[in-house]
Amino acid sequence: VFDKSLRGKKFLEGCTPGYYNNEGQVNTKPQNGTYGGGPFEFFALMKKWRAKGNLPGLELS
């Protein structure tokens, strides 16, 4: 998920500062980006993750 979220990073770094690139401060963390594999791949990934039953990596605070 993290690797594919960075696919647009170079593009956003070259854009005029604004809403989509956090005023020119492109974040390398995936929480503010999109999944680069497309919606069908993302939904398949989520289905597989939920099927494990224990939702590994999820931290509730």
Reported as a single tens digit per residue, the pLDDT across 10-61 is 888 888 998 878 888 877 565 666 778 889 999 999 999 999 988 888 888 8
- Asked if residue 60 is part of any domain, the answer here is no
Q: What is the CA radius of gyration of the chain?
A: 14
Range of the domain at 23: 2-51
What pLDDT sits at residue 47? Answer: 94
Secondary structure (DSSP) of 5-56 = HTTTHHHHHTSPSSGGGTTT---SSGGGS--TT-HHHHHHHHHHHHHTSS-T
For residue 45, give the DSSP letter: H
Q: 9 in a domain, yes or no?
A: yes
Residue 4 is predicted with a pLDDT of 77
| Domain tally, the chain | 1
Q: Is 58 domain-assigned?
A: no
Instruction: Confirm whether pTM is higher than 0.75.
Output: no
